[in-house]
Amino acid sequence: MKLYGIGNDLLLCETNNFDPFISCECGQCFRFEKISEDEYSLVACHRNLIISRHKDGWLFKDMTEAEFLESFVPYFDLDRDYGEIIKSFAFDEPISKAATVGGGIRIFRQDPWETLISFIISQNNNIPRIKKIINSLCQLLGEEKNGIYTFPTPSQIYQAGVEGLAPIKSGFRAKYIFDAASKVISGEVSLDRVAVCGYESALTELKLIKGVGDKVANCVLLFGFGYYEAFPIDVWVKRVISEHYPNGLDPKTLGKYAGIAQQYLFHAQRNNPI
């Protein structure tokens, strides 16, 4: 990885297995917009990030090297060797093929609370509508800072109540959003505890929240807490398993990076079925 300043912008070069555009589009985050084929915006690390495709890599607008190293190397998981992770899946032909399509995917390390609420909203929903509801929630209850609306805190959601969430049009999910805020505030569910208690215990704790089942909990653990062994199974992954694994697929056989394999399978099935 090499970084070069270009005016107020920062150019990232010589980074293998990293495509921020594909990473945005693989169902792990929702506060992004495709501006053009060569430019995306992404709300991350308390700011609006503009990323452009460059002939030598990726250009980050209004970015210093210090900020990138401190905030965005961890956020984009750039200090992890995804090439070696892909090699570790060589024994599994469908995953190896999927990785050739989605090898630029990296797991973003997102804010746990925002990830929890985002995936509660994602239930029985499509990505454009999920994005719209999340943006509405931020505009309704968040605060405007640095040109973006912050994601509302548990207290802000709790104070609004289920009725106060009506303008975002989240439907049945409103009571689940409120329950998450209530349980986090009371300490019945501790996000700090979830971060360190280990995968199985973390899964059990998140499922104390109404409306949070295995799929949502695994998404939150993978994308919000960095539990790379978490393996969310949605309709796309179910299709891959039914088509390529006649005896089923036990995520434990994929090792500690099963969640990264899941992203390759998910992306390939949605875009270029293997």
CATH number at residue 185: 1.10.340.30
- Euclidean distance between CA atoms 51 and 36, whole angstroms: 11
What confidence score (pLDDT) does residue 6 get?
A: 96
Interior angle at CA 24, CA 185 and CA 165, nearest 5? 35
Across the strands, what pairs with 4?
Answer: 11
Give the residue-averaged pLDDT of 70-81. 97
* 50 inside domain: yes
Contact in structure between 153 and 113 (CB atoms under 8 Å): yes
* 270 inside domain: no
- Statement to judge: residues 70 and 118 lie in one domain: no
- Euclidean distance between CA atoms 254 and 232, whole angstroms: 13
CATH of the domain at 56: 3.30.310.260
- Statement to judge: residues 71 and 127 lie in one domain: no
- Statement to judge: residues 117 and 220 lie in one domain: yes
Local structure of residue 257 (DSSP, 8 states): G
Question: In angstroms, what CA-CA distances link 93 with 101, 179, 217, 248?
Answer: 13, 42, 27, 14
- Statement to judge: residues 213 and 143 lie in one domain: yes
Give the residue-averaged pLDDT of 37-60. 97
- Statement to judge: residues 163 and 206 lie in one domain: yes
For residue 274, what pLDDT band results from cuts at 50, 70 and 90? Answer: confident
- Euclidean distance between CA atoms 271 and 274, whole angstroms: 9
* 184 inside domain: yes
- Statement to judge: residues 131 and 29 lie in one domain: no
- Euclidean distance between CA atoms 232 and 47, whole angstroms: 28
- Statement to judge: residues 132 and 178 lie in one domain: yes
Give the residue-averaged pLDDT of 152-164. 98
115 CB burial (10 A radius; 0-12, 13-18, 19+):
buried
What confidence score (pLDDT) does residue 186 get?
A: 98
Beta carbons within 8 Å of 171's beta carbon, 6+ residues apart = none
- Statement to judge: residues 71 and 116 lie in one domain: no
What confidence score (pLDDT) does residue 53 get?
A: 96
The tokens describing 4, both together, are 């070069």
For residue 272, what pLDDT band results from cuts at 50, 70 and 90? Answer: confident
Across the strands, what pairs with 148?
Answer: 145
- Statement to judge: residues 134 and 198 lie in one domain: yes
> Which ranges constitute the DSSP H helices of the chain?
20-24, 65-67, 73-75, 82-88, 93-102, 112-121, 127-141, 154-164, 173-186, 191-196, 199-206, 214-225, 235-244, 258-271
- Statement to judge: residues 164 and 73 lie in one domain: no
37 CB burial (10 A radius; 0-12, 13-18, 19+):
exposed
- Statement to judge: residues 71 and 165 lie in one domain: no
Range of the domain at 167: 112-225
Residue matched to tokens 């956020």: 75
Is residue 76 over pLDDT 90?
yes
pLDDT digits (tens, 9 = 90+) for 144-154: 988 899 999 99
Question: How many structural domains are present in the chain?
Answer: 2
Considering only CA atoms, which of 98, 73, 76 is closest in space to residue 86? 98
- Statement to judge: residues 116 and 221 lie in one domain: yes
pTM: 0.95
